[in-house]
Amino acid sequence: MYVNDILSMIEKQRDEVEKELLLNLDSDVQMVNEVASYVFESGGKRLRPVFLILSSLLCGYDGYRTAALSGVVEYIHTATLLHDDVIDGAMYRRGRKSANTVFGNDITVLCGDFLYSRAFMNLVKDGNPEIQMTLAVAARTMSEGEVFQLIKTADIKITMDDYLKIINSKTAILFSSCCEIGALLGGQSVDKRAALRDFGRNLGIAFQMSDDILDYLGDEAKTGKKPGTDLKEGKITLPVIVLLENAAEEEKVKVREIIVNENSDEENLNYIIDLMKKYDVKRKSEEILDRYSAKAKENLKLFPENKYREALESLADYMIKREK
Amino acid sequence: MYVNDILSMIEKQRDEVEKELLLNLDSDVQMVNEVASYVFESGGKRLRPVFLILSSLLCGYDGYRTAALSGVVEYIHTATLLHDDVIDGAMYRRGRKSANTVFGNDITVLCGDFLYSRAFMNLVKDGNPEIQMTLAVAARTMSEGEVFQLIKTADIKITMDDYLKIINSKTAILFSSCCEIGALLGGQSVDKRAALRDFGRNLGIAFQMSDDILDYLGDEAKTGKKPGTDLKEGKITLPVIVLLENAAEEEKVKVREIIVNENSDEENLNYIIDLMKKYDVKRKSEEILDRYSAKAKENLKLFPENKYREALESLADYMIKREK
């Protein structure tokens, strides 16, 4: 199934999510609405809502709660983006100036807090304790994961397990929650709920790994990003971990030195990228990623073969194949 | 009733709150627990829990939910303190280095988020939708109020209404929520719920006004703070508003100039403080404050005269009389 066909199939629901996102920006402090509108009107793929919508439809639910809860998830996601951009000092987001660049760090942190509280209000309105707890745990895991990632900055002793923990927190848990919410809205069995939760997690892990591979080994013309951003920020991701597993001892020493000293000039970046090419790091990383992607599709087998399942499967492929 | 007698009366409940605060610092990311412990172990008067406890007792409730919900309120309060200290670049908090000084801005923002999410989890566990909504609205109002305060920084056109809106958001709404939660725990009538909500709000306003008066006109030996911090941060509070209402035209011009240019050196600060003394600003400000304090006590008249009501009344006096 092509992405455009999938998006057309859920056009009505996606429109409702867009309305929902702007509907709640009802602060009597105009600046709050202004910052939030700036962020939401700058687009973004609304991937999490798409997964929530499709999971709900797969589980037989197509009511108004889908848009409301998609809004909640997107508010939580956006709150974390706002806080992350402040923390990373990011200048740009989605191809235009980041909120912190335009409005300053102070207001951006507070607008993140506003979106958290707005998400929380709408979750209380929805009233389902299981959905509430799913997202409360996700929010908690996300903030813990960010702290963990900060601690592990430029730490060359980072393990594959540490890396998985970080990407589970920063990406996979919220995808996982979206898919699980679909099952909860559809009143599905414990088994199916767990299957969709696992689908979302595996998919989220594969998605983040794909992003991390592209950061070093993507084609700048296609990704639109300069390679090596993660290296600059001291984030040690899959390609570096795979490289360190494969490189010769003296190469490892040099790579570690570059990372520890946060010395990511062009020469050093090119040195690392060349090593990655030498050791076929892209293919090796993609093999790891493919395992998660395959697991994700396996998780869907519990569900009947219909267009929604097919859409979720196709989307899982699309998300990790982009820009390859 | 003396403060110490009040505190002894609710010693058991206060101990449970202290346990509760540390109980939930169970992150498997040790740094998160470390930051949170640092903040909670640095003391603090736990004023909000005290009001929640006394309101609950006044309403006939003395169960385990008091400690759980006091914990929630204190987590929300602490999350806002952490974010505020980052925004204000505060070096100290409660007489020792602030969390942002010790752990850095990044980790401090994220630990604030962690406490928000932890508060939210415990609110979901508690399961009462009215209490959840009360605190969701409070959290929303607090973040909006902080943005509003930032916008109004050094804005000499600030009105008394703007000021009231700011202190309602930053202080009064959470006290109001604490007292309202007491009524909800005790299953009280709508009237009594509203009365306790209003009590908390009026008390919170009086408390913040008292703090703002002391910032200019307090005795440094007693408050332990250098006067004029608010002026330095461009926060225009009650004493300045009262001064501008009373000063002669040429004095107003100079005061406005000092504020707009954020020129708060010692000479200018002393100029303003001398003017405040000349126009009896302390007494005039206290008259305004006393109206809120009186209203707060009026709000309690709906309740039987017992030791809990007496404790709340005495505490209301104590909170605004400190360091006078």
* Contact assignment for B106 to A27 by CB distance below 8 Å: no
Residue type, A120: F
Q: Interface of chain A against chain B, CB under 8 Å? A: 27-29, 31-32, 79-80, 83, 86-87, 105-107, 109-114, 116-118, 120-121, 124-125, 127, 129, 132-133, 136-137, 139-140, 142-148, 150-151
* Contact assignment for A110 to B86 by CB distance below 8 Å: no
Percent of the residues in chain B that have a pLDDT greater than 70, as a whole number: 98
Q: Enumerate the β-bridge partners of residue A162.
A: none
pLDDT at A301: 98
Q: Enumerate the β-bridge partners of residue B96.
A: B93
* Contact assignment for B116 to A114 by CB distance below 8 Å: no
Q: How confident is the model at residue B324 (pLDDT cuts 50, 70, 90)?
A: very low
* Contact assignment for B147 to A107 by CB distance below 8 Å: yes
Mutate to test the interface with A, among B37, B113, B150, B233 (most CBs of A within 10 A): B113
**Lowest-confidence range among B106-110, B208-212, B227-231?**
B227-231
Nearest Cα of chain B lies from the Cα of A108 at a distance, in angstroms, of 9
Q: B237: which residues sit within 8 A by CB, 6+ positions away?
A: B163, B212, B215, B216, B230
Q: CA–CA distance from A170 to each of A69, A81, A87, B291 (Å)?
A: 19, 10, 14, 49
Span A52-62, pLDDT tens digits: 999 999 999 99
CATH number of the domain encompassing residue A53: 1.10.600.10
- Measured between CB atoms, which of B106, B127, B143 is closest to A110? B143
Residue B306 pLDDT > 50, yes or no?
yes
ipTM above 0.85, yes or no: yes
Rounded distance between C-alpha atoms, residue B258 and residue B240, angstroms: 12
pLDDT at A173: 98
Mutual angle of helices B266-278 and B238-246, in 10-degree steps: 60
pLDDT at A287: 96
Nearest Cα of chain A lies from the Cα of B89 at a distance, in angstroms, of 10
Nearest to A147 by CA among B60, B92, B99: B99
Residue type, A16: E
Mean pLDDT of chain A: 93
Average pLDDT in the A69-76 region? Answer: 98
* Contact assignment for A31 to B151 by CB distance below 8 Å: yes
Average pLDDT in the B172-184 region? Answer: 98
- Measured between CB atoms, which of A27, A120, A150 is closest to B136? A120
Nearest Cα of chain B lies from the Cα of A148 at a distance, in angstroms, of 6
| More confident position, A320 or B113 | B113
Into how many domains does chain A fold? 1
Average pLDDT in the B172-178 region? Answer: 98
* Contact assignment for A150 to B107 by CB distance below 8 Å: yes
* Contact assignment for A31 to B147 by CB distance below 8 Å: yes
* Contact assignment for B31 to A87 by CB distance below 8 Å: no
Task: Quote the radius of gyration of chain A (alpha carbons, Å).
Answer: 20
Q: Which two tokens stand for residue B66?
A: 């008091």
Chain A residue with CA closest to B87: the answer is A106
Q: Which residue has the tokens 């090119």?
A: A270
- B-chain CB neighbours of A151 within 8 Å are 29, 31
pLDDT at B321: 67
Rounded distance between C-alpha atoms, residue A48 and residue A204, angstroms: 10
Cβ contact B114:A144 at 8 Å: yes
Nearest Cα of chain A lies from the Cα of B54 at a distance, in angstroms, of 26
How many residues make up chain A in this entry?
324
Q: Which two tokens stand for residue A164?
A: 């998985």
pLDDT at A321: 67
Nearest Cα of chain A lies from the Cα of B215 at a distance, in angstroms, of 23
Span A91-139, pLDDT tens digits: 888 788 999 999 999 999 999 999 999 999 999 999 999 999 999 999 9
Rounded distance between C-alpha atoms, residue B10 and residue B268, angstroms: 46
Span B24-52, pLDDT tens digits: 888 989 999 999 999 998 878 899 999 99
Nearest Cα of chain B lies from the Cα of A216 at a distance, in angstroms, of 25
Q: A220: which residues sit within 8 A by CB, 6+ positions away?
A: A226, A227
Q: How confident is the model at residue B261 (pLDDT cuts 50, 70, 90)?
A: confident
Span B71-91, pLDDT tens digits: 999 999 999 999 999 988 888
- Measured between CB atoms, which of B32, B132, B140 is closest to A144? B32
- Measured between CB atoms, which of A114, A116, A127 is closest to B129? A127
* Contact assignment for A150 to B109 by CB distance below 8 Å: no
* Contact assignment for A143 to B113 by CB distance below 8 Å: yes
Q: Enumerate the β-bridge partners of residue A92.
A: A97
Rounded distance between C-alpha atoms, residue B269 and residue A231, angstroms: 48
Nearest Cα of chain B lies from the Cα of A140 at a distance, in angstroms, of 5
Residue A324 pLDDT > 60, yes or no?
no
Rounded distance between C-alpha atoms, residue A73 and residue A60, angstroms: 20
Q: How confident is the model at residue B137 (pLDDT cuts 50, 70, 90)?
A: very high
| More confident position, B256 or A220 | B256
- Measured between CB atoms, which of A80, A142, A147 is closest to B31? A147
Residue A245 CB neighbour total at 10 angstroms: 12
User: Which residue range forms the structural domain that includes residue A303?
Assistant: 3-321
Mind spelling out the 3-state secondary structure of B16-77? HHHHHHHHCCCCCCHHHHHHHHHHHHCCCCCHHHHHHHHHHHHCCCCCCHHHHHHHHHHHHH
How many residues make up chain B in this entry?
324
Chain B residue with CA closest to A134: the answer is B121
Rounded distance between C-alpha atoms, residue A322 and residue A72, angstroms: 27
Chain A residue with CA closest to B134: the answer is A121
pLDDT at A319: 84
- B-chain CB neighbours of A29 within 8 Å are 144-145, 147-148, 151
Mean pLDDT of chain B: 93
- B-chain CB neighbours of A136 within 8 Å are 117, 120-121, 124
pLDDT at B72: 98
- A-chain CB neighbours of B148 within 8 Å are 29, 31
- A-chain CB neighbours of B79 within 8 Å are 113
* Contact assignment for A110 to B136 by CB distance below 8 Å: no
* Contact assignment for B31 to A117 by CB distance below 8 Å: no
